Amino acid sequence: MNWLMDLIREYGFGIVFLNVLVEQLGAPIPAYPVLVVTGALEGSNSARWPLLIVVAVSAALIADVVWYYAGKAYGQAVLGKICRISLSPDACIRQTASVYGRWGPKSLLVAKFVPGFASIASALAGTVGTPLPVFILFDALGALIWVGSAVFLGSLFSSTVQDLLDVLTALGRWGLMLLLIAFALFLVRKWWRRARVLKSLKMPRMSVQELFGLYSQGVMPTVIDVRDLSQYQRSHIPGATSWKVGSRQNPLPHEFLLPQQNHPHGLVVYCDCPHEISAARISKQLQRAGFTNVRPLVGGLQAWQAAGFEVQHVPPSEDSQGGDGANVKADGPLIS
């Protein structure tokens, strides 16, 4: 264990840089504890704090800019990859989109304090077209707050952290083993939570080809878009209604509170999440409300567009709650 402490003391800034970079790229390797420990070890030398903060903030910015450009280039498709890398529940995409849609770049000020939020928020900023200078400004401020708080906590409790390190050092190999076991338990817990969510949301699903076939036969199921309202307005499946038009007091929009017979062809729910987690959660909610014929759409809007089917958008001049929309050309037949 002594060699590990010597390694941290000698190459602490390099370790911090790599740790922050890897975590912000999405890997489930927490950097905040390392920042606190490094801040504690540098507690007696406050002249090195600015350098430590610059190193950590630079690493965070590099990773976030990578995700920003990935989101700008590949759109929503990149968000699912982040969730898979980080082992975060896929519904984090919908939650992040909702927060970013409400607060915009200002949400980046606290993004790094919320597990699974920072990387997705960076990619989402590129997807929605946030100007790069604005993104860098708020992201850098957010990284500065995040890193600064860790370094401050480390310096504030430097004696306590040092005592803990001394105990681990005295334990030798057992101390290193305890750290490895703690990290393994952290990964297992994240994997178990993800697996439990996926298992709880198993249910029959509908493919985009099936939905297109129903449309072609003149059968019109009620199609529900559970993404953020701004995403719905940019593009949605023809005839779909946004889930976000309901009142805040009611968990279900008013048109879905009608009796089940008002939806003779069932309900189809879609999102842009891997494994259709957001759509499956809303489908379960609708089932608890008494709707039996509810199915999530496999692949969501991405699968619909990949199949070459057309989408609609709500022009800026129209009311935010929807309307007939306008068709957006795609390599496929028109449905409206």
Nearest to 225 by CA among 215, 237, 213, 234: 237
φ, ψ of residue 251 to 5 degrees: the values are -70, -20
Q: What are the counts of helices (DSSP H) followed by strands (DSSP E) for the chain?
A: 13, 6
Q: Please give the pLDDT value at position 134.
A: 95
As a whole number of angstroms, the distance between CA 2 and CA 12 comes to: 14
Residue 111 and residue 122: Cα distance in Å, rounded? 9
What region does 247 belong to: left with phi over 0, alpha with psi -120 to 50, or beta?
beta
Please list the residues that pair with 242 across neighbouring strands: 225
Token readout for 283 is 């489908």
Closest of 144, 174, 152 to residue 56, by C-alpha: 144
The DSSP string of 193-236 is HHHHHHHHT----B-HHHHHHHHHTT---EEEE-S-HHHHHH-B
Q: How many Å apart are CA 196 and CA 90, to the nearest integer?
A: 12
| Tens digits of pLDDT across the chain (336 residues) | 455 556 666 667 888 899 899 888 878 788 888 888 888 877 666 677 888 899 999 999 999 999 999 988 887 667 666 766 654 555 556 666 667 777 888 989 988 887 667 788 888 888 888 999 999 999 999 999 999 999 888 887 777 766 666 665 666 666 667 767 876 887 787 778 777 777 777 888 999 999 999 888 888 888 999 887 777 888 899 888 888 754 343 455 555 555 555 566 788 999 877 778 888 888 888 888 888 889 999 988 888 988 888 888 766 544 444 444 444 333 333 333
At residue 227, the pLDDT reads 82
Q: What is the DSSP letter of 122?
A: H
Task: Give the burial string for 159-186 (b: 16+ CB within 10 Å, else e).
Answer: eebeeebeebbeeeeebeeeeeeeeeee
Sequence-separated (6 or more) residues with CB below 8 Å from residue 108: 118, 121, 122, 125, 135, 138, 139, 141, 142
Sign of CA dihedral 53, 54, 55, 57: positive
Measured in whole angstroms, how far is the alpha carbon of residue 84 from the centre of its chain? 10
Lookup: tokens for 307: 């199949």
Q: Which residues partner with 284 through β-bridges?
A: none
Tell me the backbone φ, ψ of residue 249, rounded to 5 degrees. Answer: -75, -30
The Cα angle at residue 130 between residues 331 and 147, in degrees rounded to 5: 130
